[in-house]
Chain A
Amino acid sequence: MTGYHLAQLNVGLARASTDAPELAGFMAGIEPVNAIADAAAGFVWRLQDGDGPGATGLRPRGPDFMVNMSVWESLEALRDFVYRNGPHLDFMRRRREWFHRMAGEHLVLWWIPAGHMPSLDEALSRLDLLRSAGPGPMAFTFREPYPAPAEPVPAEPVPAEPARLS
């Protein structure tokens, strides 16, 4: 194992509020799917807040802007959970029932020193970097992954950009 872990941020614009019937299927699925993640091989950490299941209480960029963020030991571990787990794959298949399509990327991956706990601001600045500059070693996607760095990197090397709502 390298001295790096993989951080993941996923954002979505909800079609309704979390207590609306339109989002009932999503809200009902959060806890079971998170439980699968917690038990998955290579899982390290995920963002939670005390207000609602998972990170559903956080709204960093507007009332409908929802996030989830987690840390994994490797890209393969995360990929196995995201794409090769039945309940999670089924959850993703239904995402358009619950979330609007967004202009720009909705998922960003980046490497962090093992043990570092990424902040939501750090994660959002990585998403902004991906959206403005495209995939690179500092912010990338499943479709165009970059290997973990050979040298240690500072935890927050990305300058914050103005928030971009989409």
Chain B
Amino acid sequence: MIAVLDDPVRRRLYDYVAGQADGVSRAEAAEAVGIQRTLAAFHLDRLAEAGLVDVSFRRPAGRTGPGAGRPAKLYRRAAAEHQVSVPPRDYRGAAELLAEVVDVTGAEPELQRSARSRGAACGRLARRQAPQAPDGDLVTGALEAQGYQPYRDGADFRLRNCPFHVLASRYPPLICGMNLALVEGLLEGAAVTGLEARLDPRPEECCVTLRVSEELPSSKTNES
């Protein structure tokens, strides 16, 4: 099934669709990727057949009844999760067992420390690769490299995808805490001081939000 993504044009189309909050039309996808609409339609339908995107239909706004025209076909990232491994490996099963052990042994502080270091390494790498990049672009690129789908929400950034979704739904405080530590570490490693990571869960999104740091006049506190 993932062979469907071998084609680079199709891959770019998939990445575009997967990064959007709502369904996108053939015309929007074609324009975003810079190809003809008919070619985009062809590839989008192959992605839908493979189950990687979901299809819905929408009439143009304000038009109803006969003569309103055909409803537009919209493509959206599939809700289903796909995991492919050749040869077969069961990382999810291992991850669930490890999460359970961290949970029952109370090793969350150690998990958060490790996550923070790992995030910091990613942040440092991103900063080395683009020392002059504006903080927002740098953070976006580094998060994308880690499997997040960041998008702007006013001055803040939200993350459309939870890279640990299945685990997070089984062990929310454990995995969301690990996730927060990863993103905090990433910001530290990238020497980004204008943003801070917060837990702010929303349905179907990552629990972490990046907010513009509030300037604190004197000493910094952790209490909220």
Contact = CB atoms under 8 A, between A and B. Distances in A.
A29 B223 CA distance: 8
Given A100-B106, A101-B105, A89 B173 contact: yes
B39 interface: no
B176 A84 contact: no
B106 A96 contact: yes
Interface residues of A, number: 22
A141 B177 CA distance: 20
A89 B207 contact: yes
Interface bin, chain B: 20 to 34
Contacts of A25: 222-223
B34 interface: no
Nearest to B178: A93
Interface in A84-116: 84-87, 89-90, 92-97, 100-101
Interface of A: 24-25, 28-29, 32, 82-87, 89-90, 92-97, 100-101, 143
Interface of B: 104-106, 108-109, 170, 172-173, 176-177, 180, 198-203, 207, 222-224
Given A25-B222, A89-B172, A101-B105, 4 more contacts: A28-B223, A83-B172, A86-B201, A93-B108
13 contacts: A84-B202, A89-B199, A90-B199, A90-B224, A92-B172, A92-B173, A93-B180, A94-B177, A96-B106, A96-B109, A101-B104, A101-B106, A143-B170
